[in-house]
Amino acid sequence: MRALLAGARRKQSQLLDLTQKLVLAESPSDSKSAVDACMDLAAVHAKSLGGRVKRHRQRAWGDVLELRFGPRKTKSGPGRRILLLGHLDTVWPLGTLKSMPCRIAADSAGQHRLWGPGTLDMKAGVAMAFTAIELLTEAATLSSEIIILLNSEEEVGSPVSRPITESLAQQCAAVYVLEPAQNLAYKTSRKGTGNWRITVHGLAAHAGVDFTRGRSAILELGRQIEKISAWTDLDKGITLNVGTIGGGTKTNVVPAEAWAEIDLRVAKRTDGPRIEKRFAALKPTVKSGTTLTVGGGINRPPMERTRGTVQLFRRAQSLAAEIDWQLTEASTGGASDGNFTSALGIPTLDGMGAVGEGAHATHESILIEHFAPRTALLAAMLAT
């Protein structure tokens, strides 16, 4: 670990350069050409490190990049092949760099940070993975194949990369996710997510002349919201958030239509289908005279804290201890592509990317001092 840490320190400015290069190539999920241009940079860099590049071409979304390093695996089964999961899309629209320039500057506490859209989530993590592989290649300790998969649409739920992620994960013994740390911790569990939209159709009527003939969609929606919100069970890690609502036209009209959008988080895999069934069984309350349409479902299953994941974490913890770093583990309500691989039973360790704050926020930035030790640990985890 000490040698890897020294190596990572020597490469720190190069690592910063690579991160900045990726950040300067703005890549919102919904702009295929922009995401593709960022993928081009990653592909060129991978080739310069001796990587084998496979481009999964996409029509609507940016291309997905599969990069392989180290010896080609000839034996059957996963062997010790490892999958590194990252994404190059961001939530930031083109032109964000004008208001959030990519720059290195100290924060109010005097800590040096790299600021900019997509630094923390998660171009720094991708740059760390490349640097870790470079360290191992130079030390000639890359003994089994490593795959880096760079997705183009993670921020919108990975609609096209999911099957690629899942099939590659099944060829691997472990999955490391390059998403940001939780404070300093690695993530050993994540909640699963689901989304629904419910629409209520009622009957419009004059609120003064014909009130009793009207069937209020908003009143009915209110009842449904009460019902759905009551499914929240904090002890079990189940939350339902009605995040947006809409409906009605004028105050003097009984509203004919109303809708709501709901976000679900579950900690246990078995809870997802249970809530799905409840949504499917929603009915208008008695005598309301309205109808209900319900659409949606589970997007990402939870990443549970499995034995395999805990084993990976323990190994990372003992490696970190060699450089006097007390690595801790954390769980989060946010989902990542690691949720997919973990649900397939493949040991998955997440949060192995950068340390910082402000993912999806205007103060998005990473702490530069954590770059070297975390890259060294990533390299050590790929070597052992």
Binding part of the chain for Zn ion, among 118-126, 208-216, 263-271, 340-348 by CB under 5 A, reads 118-126
Identify whether the C-beta of residue 294 lies closer than 8 Å to the C-beta of residue 282. yes
Binding part of the chain for Zn ion, among 48-56, 115-123, 132-140, 341-349 by CB under 5 A, reads 115-123
Closest separation between CB of residue 86 and Zn ion, Å? 8
- Select 39 or 142, whichever has its Cβ closest to Zn ion: 39
Identify whether the C-beta of residue 147 lies closer than 8 Å to the C-beta of residue 34. no
Q: Does 350 bind Zn ion (CB under 5 A)?
A: no
Closest separation between CB of residue 299 and Zn ion, Å? 15
Identify whether the C-beta of residue 102 lies closer than 8 Å to the C-beta of residue 116. yes
Q: Does 42 bind Zn ion (CB under 5 A)?
A: no
Closest separation between CB of residue 176 and Zn ion, Å? 14
- Per-residue HEC secondary structure of 55-67 comes to EECCCCCCCEEEE
Closest separation between CB of residue 335 and Zn ion, Å? 10
- Select 122 or 132, whichever has its Cβ closest to Zn ion: 122
Closest separation between CB of residue 87 and Zn ion, Å? 6
- Select 309 or 339, whichever has its Cβ closest to Zn ion: 339
Closest separation between CB of residue 118 and Zn ion, Å? 9
Binding part of the chain for Zn ion, among 30-38, 40-48, 112-120, 171-179 by CB under 5 A, reads 171-179
250 — phi, psi (to 5°)? -135, 155
- Select 179 or 304, whichever has its Cβ closest to Zn ion: 179
Q: Does 63 bind Zn ion (CB under 5 A)?
A: no
Task: Give the closest residue to 24 by CA, choosing from 68, 90, 77, 80.
Answer: 90
Q: Which residues of 38-68 are buried (b: 16+ CB within 10 A; e: fewer)?
A: bbebbbebbeeeebeeeeeebeebbbbbbbb
Closest separation between CB of residue 284 and Zn ion, Å? 39
The Cα 40–Cα 168 span in angstroms is 21
Q: Which residue shows structure tokens 């593709």? A: 36
The HSE-up count of residue 51 (CA atoms within 13 Å, CB side) is: 25
Closest separation between CB of residue 368 and Zn ion, Å? 19
Mask for 172-201, x = binds Zn ion (CB under 5 A)? -------x----------------------
Preceding peptide of 122 cis, ω within 30°: yes
Q: How many helices (H) and strands (E) does the chain have?
A: 11, 18
Binding part of the chain for Zn ion, among 41-49, 64-72, 97-105, 114-122 by CB under 5 A, reads 114-122
Out of 4, 122, 127, 178, name the contact with Zn ion by CB under 5 A.
122
Q: Does 153 bind Zn ion (CB under 5 A)?
A: no
Q: Does 89 bind Zn ion (CB under 5 A)?
A: no
The Cα 353–Cα 128 span in angstroms is 7
Q: Does 364 bind Zn ion (CB under 5 A)?
A: no
Q: DSSP letters of 144-191?
A: S-EEEEEES-GGGT-TTTHHHHHHHHTT-SEEEE-SPPBTTBEEEEE-
Mask for 69-88, x = binds Zn ion (CB under 5 A)? --------------------
Task: Give the closest residue to 191 by CA, choosing from 271, 100, 289, 108.
Answer: 271
Q: Does 129 bind Zn ion (CB under 5 A)?
A: no
Closest separation between CB of residue 365 and Zn ion, Å? 15
202 — phi, psi (to 5°)? -120, -140
Q: How far does the chain reach from its first CA to its final CA, in angstroms? A: 11
- Select 161 or 290, whichever has its Cβ closest to Zn ion: 161
Out of 121, 145, 220, 329, name the contact with Zn ion by CB under 5 A.
121
Identity at 177, one-letter amino acid code: V
Mask for 12-31, x = binds Zn ion (CB under 5 A)? --------------------
Binding residues for Zn ion, per CB under 5 A?
Answer: 121-122, 179
